[in-house]
Amino acid sequence: MTLLSTLQTALPSTLSLLERLVALESPTLDKAAVDAVGAVHAAQLTSLGAQVRTFPQAKTGDHVLGVFNAGAGVPLILVMHMDTVHPRGTLASMPIKYLEGRLHGPGVYDMKASHVIALSAIRALLDLGQMPRREIRVLFTADEETGSHTSRQLIEEQARGCALALVMEPALPDGRLKSARKGTGLFTVTARGRAARRRRP
Q: Does the pLDDT at position 180 exceed 90?
A: no
Question: What sign does the dihedral 115-118-122-127 (CA atoms) show?
Answer: positive
**Contact of 57 with 165, CB cutoff 8 Å:** no
Q: What is the mean pLDDT of residues 161-182?
A: 87
Domain ranges of the chain: 3-167
Q: What is the pTM of this model?
A: 0.88
Residue range 30-67, pLDDT digits in tens: 999 999 999 999 999 999 999 999 999 999 999 999 99
Give the distance, in angstroms, between the CA of residue 198 and the centroid of all CA atoms in the same chain.
55
Residue 185 — very low, low, confident or very high, per pLDDT cuts 50/70/90? Answer: confident
**Contact of 144 with 90, CB cutoff 8 Å:** no
Q: Does the pLDDT at position 201 exceed 70?
A: no
Q: Does the pLDDT at position 75 exceed 90?
A: yes
CATH of domain 3-167: 3.40.630.10
Report the alpha-carbon distance of residue 66 to residue 78 in Å, rounded: 10
Give, rounded to a whole angstrom, the gap between the first and last alpha carbons of the chain.
86
pLDDT on residue 187: 87
pLDDT on residue 176: 87
pLDDT on residue 143: 96
